[in-house]
Amino acid sequence: MQPDIEIYLKDCTPEQARQWLCRVFERCSEWQSHGQLYRCDCDGVTVTWYNKAVGSWHSLLFDSPVTPWGSDLECAQAACAALGIEVRCAPGGWQEEQGEQGADDWLKVNAQGVSHIVWRT
């Protein structure tokens, strides 16, 4: 089980993401704005939206090991299917102690499926 889930969305607004979250979770609060960052609570899970975290890509972070998904990839696939947009995620857990080895290895999820890419963030 991962300690958190993080995905990156392109061509998505915080409101579109929240509409998806409201379909996934029973209770989802309104976004609370903190500059470029938004937070909401979904069934006790703190969800953070980082606007343009990497270029034009927005980060959606679920700060809990207890989510409807077992991995970043499962979450990315669900978001892609629900929102009809490309989503990126790390291929597995990465710890800072691992250094830069593999830090640019990412998964791209779109209508064609899942593929490995090099994404220099």
Residue 51 structural domain? 5-118
Per-residue pLDDT at 104: 78
- pLDDT mean over 55-71: 95
pLDDT (tens digit, 9 = 90+) per residue, 94-114? 556 555 555 678 999 999 999
User: What is the domain count for the chain?
Assistant: 1
pLDDT above 70 as % of the chain: 90
- Mean pLDDT (the chain, rounded): 91
Per-residue pLDDT at 45: 96
Per-residue pLDDT at 35: 83
pLDDT at 43 over 70: yes
Long-range CB contact pairs, 12-17, < 8 A, 24+:
12/58, 12/83, 12/85, 14/38, 14/49, 14/51, 14/58, 16/83, 17/49, 17/58, 17/60, 17/79, 17/83
pLDDT at 41 over 60: yes
